[in-house]
Structures are given as structure tokens and as C-alpha cells.
A and B are shown apart, each in its own frame.
Chain A
């Protein structure tokens, strides 16, 4: 089974609008993280939310976690052209210890200037 599925797979919005991406997962987790990947580059850590947290903010980012639904959302407010990238959720599974990250399929976000 797939651990970590984001939707939508692709999202295009106008600069200044808000972007919302969703992630679902299947197994129990210690925490869920969001990473950004610019085209052809490495992964940049954005934010981590623990399993006992429901919402977290960091600058223009807002993450929610619903462990009963095994889902998370990432909201980017007041989007900028520089936010164009792929966004991945990643889970750390307690069965494997706090090490291995399992990534989702990603959402490709395009901000139209």
C-alpha cells in the first residue's frame, strides 16, 4: 500500500492566492513533515507536526494534522512566484523508529505571476 499520497498532483494558482495541498497516509506515525523540492534540486524541510499536534504555523505556512482521518494539509498563504516547486509530505513511522521517512507522491505547485 502507498504511504503518503498528496492531492492534487498538480496545482496552478495566481500569485497572491492561497495554495492548499493535502496528504493522506495509512499507518500510524510519530510525526508528519512537509518538504519542498525545486526542479532538479534537493529537498528542503519546511515544517514538522507531531502526532499529538493538530495545527502548526511557520511564516506563511500552516499545517494541520488529523490523525483520526490520517490526513494532513499544507496551506501556503499569499503565494509568490518563488513558491513554485513540488511539495512532499513525509511520515516517520514508530514501527521503524524515528529514522526512515516515507514520502508521498508530491504536489507540483505552479504560481502564475
Chain B
């Protein structure tokens, strides 16, 4: 069964460093998302991406965040200058058909900012 893959599974970084979280969505899916989950809290929407542009972003997704689909297969989330509060699980999701509205999630990247 096709799946969304995320790498790395765990990323440790120093505060102020840039990180890039990578995702390979399910091929032929058109809609892509990033969510995050701070330990013990609910899953929060960050950004949605369709047709090579952001379709919606949350207030969490400030100027420090950016997304890109550089080569038609990978979907990346970049945090330019990490803060301690960016420590969380980051989930990528992809969706093929808005009418069915089922988003398929990757296993996540645990980001630890020290």
C-alpha cells in the first residue's frame, strides 16, 4: 500500500540553526500538508500546499517557516532559525482527492531543539 515517508525520523539541532524536514508524499497525490504536535498536545495544522503554492497557513507558520516541492516528488518544510518551542513531532500528509478528503500521514519527524 502506498505510504507517505518522512525523513529523518529524529532531528536534533541547536537553537538558531536551520532545519529541513523531508517528506515524500504518495505519488499522484495533489494536496500536501504539514502539521505539528507538541508533546502531549493536539495535532495542529501548519500549512497546506497545492499547485506549487501555499493554499492556507496557520498563525504558527510565520516567516521562519517555508515549504517547497523542489522536484515533483519531495515536499519539504524548512525552519530558518529554530527556537526551543519548535520542538515537536512534525507530520506530513498528502491527499489525492478533495472529495474524499482523506489525508494520509507519514510517521513523523521528531524535532528536538537544544
Contacts and interface: CB of A to CB of B under 8 A. Distances in A.
Given A42-B106, A96-B56, A99-B55, A30 B101 contact: yes
B33 A99 contact: yes
Given A96-B56, A99-B48, A104 B42 contact: yes
Contacts of A106: 42
Given A42-B107, A99-B33, A100-B48, A48 B42 contact: no
- How many chain B residues sit at the interface, stated as a range, is 20 to 34
Contacts of B50: 99
A112 interface: no
A109 interface: no
Contacts, number: 64
Interface in B37-67: 41-45, 48, 50, 55-56, 58
A99 B43 contact: no
Interface in B5-60: 31, 33, 35, 41-45, 48, 50, 55-56, 58
Interface residues of A, number: 26
Contacts of B43: 43, 88, 90, 103
28 contacts: A4-B42, A30-B101, A31-B101, A35-B105, A41-B108, A42-B91, A42-B106, A45-B104, A45-B105, A90-B43, A96-B56, A97-B55, A97-B98, A98-B99, A98-B101, A99-B33, A99-B48, A99-B55, A99-B56, A100-B56, A101-B35, A101-B103, A103-B35, A103-B43, A103-B44, A104-B42, A105-B41, A105-B42
Interface of A: 4, 30-31, 33, 35, 40-45, 48, 88, 90, 92, 96-106
Given A43-B93, A99-B50, A104-B42, 16 more contacts: A4-B42, A30-B101, A41-B107, A42-B91, A42-B105, A42-B106, A45-B105, A48-B102, A97-B56, A98-B98, A98-B101, A100-B33, A100-B45, A100-B58, A101-B45, A103-B35
